[in-house]
Amino acid sequence: MCDGAGISQFMSTWAEMARGATKPSIPPVWHRELLMATHPPRITCNHREFEHVPDTVKGTVTSNRT
């Protein structure tokens, strides 16, 4: 994952190393645990687009063909 602040920090660190620095002045931070799902998974909001909708139409376009 990359964003504007991340690429800016990366480019600054790259420039520091090119100038001869042995380590970056701002160390990278990897909080990968923030991206991991909880165990067990926890639903925090309802997604209506995944709800089952009952079929209210008796016939469909494909079933009416003869």
- The predicted-structure confidence for 18-31, as pLDDT tens digits, reads as follows 999 999 998 887 77
34: left (phi > 0), else alpha (psi -120 to 50), else beta? alpha
Residue 10 lies in a domain: yes
- Token couple for 11: 């480019």
- Whether residue 41 lies inside any domain: the answer is yes
> For the whole prediction, is pTM greater than 0.85?
no
Q: Is residue 17 part of a domain?
A: yes
Domain of residue 28 covers 4-46
* Torsion sign across C-alpha atoms 17, 20, 25, 30: positive
Q: Number of structural domains, the chain?
A: 1
For residue 65, being part of any structural domain is answered with: no
pLDDT in tens, 1-20: 567 888 888 899 999 999 99
